Structure 1
Amino acid sequence: MTKIDRYILILFLRTVLVCFLSIGGIFVVFHAFTSLDDLVRQGQTDGGLIRVMVRYYGPYMLLLFDWTGTIIVLMSLLFTTGWLRRTGELTATLSAGISHGRILRPMLIASLLIILVQVVNREFILPGYRDSLAMKTDEIDNETPQPMLPCDDRVNGILIEGVSILPRSKKILKPSFRLEGDFQGFGDLIVAESAQWTEATAEHPCGYFVNKIVRPEKIDTLASTGTTDRTILYTHHDQEWLASKQCFIATTINAELLQADQSTSRLVSLPELAARVKNPAVHSSASVQVLLHERLVRPPLDYALILLGLPIVINRKNRNLFVMIGVAIGTVLFFFMIKSVSGGLGGAGYLLSPSMAAWVPLLVLGPVAYVRLRDIQTI
């Protein structure tokens, strides 16, 4: 790496940082202004206002980076090139016989690394904060019940319902499990005070500990039952690890699938999303399948968006910086229009399959982006 490479790289990364901090600062200021009372009240009991704001807005900064990182990189590419052109440094470098492609190489490599950082953030960091991103400012310390979405376990024949759910605790309040299968002695309904989701252990598969059962009244006298090859309903009658008026219901319908706010489903990692689609117990809509394929294709598609902006950066017309920004905004809007239309068609099951809907934008824009990358090598 030469001195001019380091100079351009530092200038570019500084521009990326300033743009991101500006957008993040605007978000924090406007949101904190409307929620300041809740934040101050939490700060009085939890180590100060700054600590509370870091806890609450930290995950949002990670989410904001995931949402805007690629657009910020594209705009920073424009600002950096515009600055080099305005100061005459770009002209002086070109006069030395160095091509535009060689000048832009440090920024293009840095852009690729930023996209890879986005992938790490999206797959390994954000999934751990999805509950924090769903809470309001008055729920930082105190978890409040959220509306619950009924879900049908199609494998075991159980419809899971409830009054509300505690997302972080993974606990259903006043649940009711409608038994659609033939579970001798249990009737068609199990009603209780609460149900706690738990992962699989040596004693039982994944499912819910159902506590303080109201119906059926004589639950302790009923033996565990299920299908011929596996047990679904475990009771205190023959399971010593269960207490009286308690049973265990085996199911792969976890607490996240029961949340009415399904926006958190977009924050799960790629393996979790794939497992959800492959789960035979739950119906996966076409939109969820589109989302799965979009996650796979997003890194190369994001980089294609940056490459699509190269003719805006490198042009012989010496456009004004604000004109370049306007053209860049139009390019971004065109990019997201193709992506949205394709995803909408795939999610609706019209003309495109879910997999094809996710890959169409890359198949259309990828070759164009590659041609533009090749063009700047000769300018």
Structure 2
Amino acid sequence: MTRIDRYILMLYLRTLLICFCSLGGIFVVFHAFSNLEALAEHAEAKGGFVHAMIDYYGPYLLVIFDSTSPILALMSLLFTIGWLRQSGELTSILAAGVRHGRLLQPMLIAALLIVGLGLVNREWVLPHYRNKLGNRPNVDAATAERPLQPCYDRQAGVLVEGKSLITEGKQLVNPAFHLHAAYPGFGSQLNARQAVWRPADEQHPAGFLLNDVARPQAIDELSSARLNDRPVLFTSKDNAWLQPQQCFVATSVDISMLEAKGSSKKYTPIFDLMRRVRNPAVHTSSKVRVDLHARFLRPLLDFSLVLLGLPLAVSRGDKNLFVLVGHAVILVGMFFGIKSLAATMGSSGYLLTPPMAAWVPILLLSPLAYARYRSVQYV
């Protein structure tokens, strides 16, 4: 790496940091002023206002980076080239025989690293904080109740419902398990005060442990029930590890499948999405399948956006920075328009299957991105 490469790289990274801090600062200021009372309560619980701000807004800054990283990478590249042009440094560098393609190389490598960092942030960092997203500052994510989306287990014949769920505690509040299969003596529904998710162990398969069962009332007098030689309902009469008024329901429907739409569900790890798609006991919507394929292809699509904007940086036409930014905004709008249209068509099953809905933007934009990348190499 030459001295010019290091200079351009530092200028690019500094521009990227300024752009990100500007976006993040605007969000934090507007959100904080509309939630001052809740922030004051959160600061009192955390022992300081600064600590409370970092604890609450840290995950949101990660969300902003996830949503805007390819746009920031492109805009920072344009701003860096615009600055070099305005200061006259670009003319000097080009006069020394350095081509635009060589000049852009360190920034493209940095943009590729940013796309990779976005992948790590999206799949490994954000899932740890997703329960904090969407809550008010004074709400404890460990005890916050979230909306519950019913899910049907086709293998067990059980529809899992309830009032709400507590994600971090893996609990259902006031669960109501509708029994669509024939379980003699259990009736058509199991009601309890609480249900807690338990992974599989030596005593039972994975499922929910129901505490304080109210329906059926004589739960302790009922024997455990099976469906197609598969144990589904466990009672204390046959299982010493269960306490009175407890019942265990074996099901492959876990907490992540019961989360309603929102930030918590949006940032589900890709491995959980894969597990859901492969689960034969539950129905997987076309939208979930589109999201799964799109998550695999997103790094390539994000980097394609950066390559698509390269000709704007070396344009020999109007070199006004604001005009170039306007063209970049139009380009970004077209990019996300194609991406959103394909995802909508795949989710609704109109013309495109879920895998094709994820691949269509790649097939349309990647060849064009490569052609635009090649077009600036010898300019």
Under a length normalisation based on structure 2, what TM-score does the superposition of the two structures give? 0.97
Report how far residue 317 of structure 1 moved: 1.6
Counterpart residue type for residue 137 of structure 2: T
Report how far residue 264 of structure 1 moved: 2.5
SS at match of 2:131: helix
Residue of structure 2 equivalent to 1:25: 25
Report how far residue 112 of structure 1 moved: 0.2
SS at match of 2:248: strand
Under a length normalisation based on structure 1, what TM-score does the superposition of the two structures give? 0.97
Any residues of structure 2 matched to 1:106-255 within 5 Å, and which? 106-140=106-140, 143-255=143-255
Residue of structure 1 equivalent to 2:89: 89
How many residue pairs were aligned? 379
Q: Deviations over 1:269-294 (max 9, x none)?
A: 21111111111222111111111111
Residue pair 2:141, 2:168 contacting (<8 A) in 1 also:
no
Counterpart residue type for residue 235 of structure 1: T
Q: Are 2:39 and 1:14 aligned?
A: no
Counterpart residue type for residue 147 of structure 1: P
Counterpart residue type for residue 202 of structure 1: E
Q: Are 2:361 and 1:366 aligned?
A: no
Residue pair 2:270, 2:292 contacting (<8 A) in 1 also:
yes
Residue of structure 1 equivalent to 2:335: 335
Of the structure 1 ranges 325-334 and 252-261, higher mean CA displacement relative to structure 2 is found in 252-261
Distance 1:61 1:189, change over 3 A: same
Of the structure 1 ranges 111-120 and 46-55, higher mean CA displacement relative to structure 2 is found in 46-55
Q: Are 2:378 and 1:378 aligned?
A: yes
Gaps of 5+ in 2: none
Q: Matched residues, percent identical? A: 48
Please give the alpha-carbon distance, in whole angstroms, between the structure 2 residues aligned to 1:36 and 1:102: 49
Of the structure 1 ranges 176-185 and 198-207, higher mean CA displacement relative to structure 2 is found in 198-207
Residue of structure 2 equivalent to 1:275: 275
Gaps of 5+ in 1: none
Residue of structure 1 equivalent to 2:305: 305
Please give the alpha-carbon distance, in whole angstroms, between the structure 2 residues aligned to 1:230 and 1:178: 18
Residue of structure 2 equivalent to 1:53: 53
SS at match of 1:192: strand
Residue of structure 1 equivalent to 2:99: 99
Residue pair 1:56, 1:140 contacting (<8 A) in 2 also:
no
Counterpart residue type for residue 132 of structure 1: K
Counterpart residue type for residue 200 of structure 2: A
Residue pair 2:142, 2:166 contacting (<8 A) in 1 also:
no
Report how far residue 165 of structure 1 moved: 2.1
Distance 1:273 1:4, change over 3 A: same
Residue of structure 2 equivalent to 1:288: 288
Residue of structure 1 equivalent to 2:69: 69
Residue pair 2:172, 2:195 contacting (<8 A) in 1 also:
yes
Please give the alpha-carbon distance, in whole angstroms, between the structure 1 residues aligned to 2:32 and 2:324: 33
Residue of structure 1 equivalent to 2:351: 351
Residue pair 2:256, 2:268 contacting (<8 A) in 1 also:
no
Report how far residue 140 of structure 1 moved: 3.2
Report how far residue 261 of structure 1 moved: 3.3
Please give the alpha-carbon distance, in whole angstroms, between the structure 2 residues aligned to 1:354 and 1:139: 37
RMSD: 1.3
SS at match of 2:130: helix
Please give the alpha-carbon distance, in whole angstroms, between the structure 2 residues aligned to 1:345 and 1:141: 35
Residue pair 1:206, 1:250 contacting (<8 A) in 2 also:
yes
Q: Deviations over 1:156-191 (max 9, x none)?
A: 100112122223222112111111112122121111
Please give the alpha-carbon distance, in whole angstroms, between the structure 2 residues aligned to 1:321 and 1:88: 14
Please give the alpha-carbon distance, in whole angstroms, between the structure 1 residues aligned to 2:229 and 2:96: 77
Counterpart residue type for residue 59 of structure 1: P
SS at match of 2:241: coil
Report how far residue 228 of structure 1 moved: 3.8
Please give the alpha-carbon distance, in whole angstroms, between the structure 2 residues aligned to 1:109 and 1:306: 11
Counterpart residue type for residue 58 of structure 1: G
Distance 1:223 1:214, change over 3 A: same
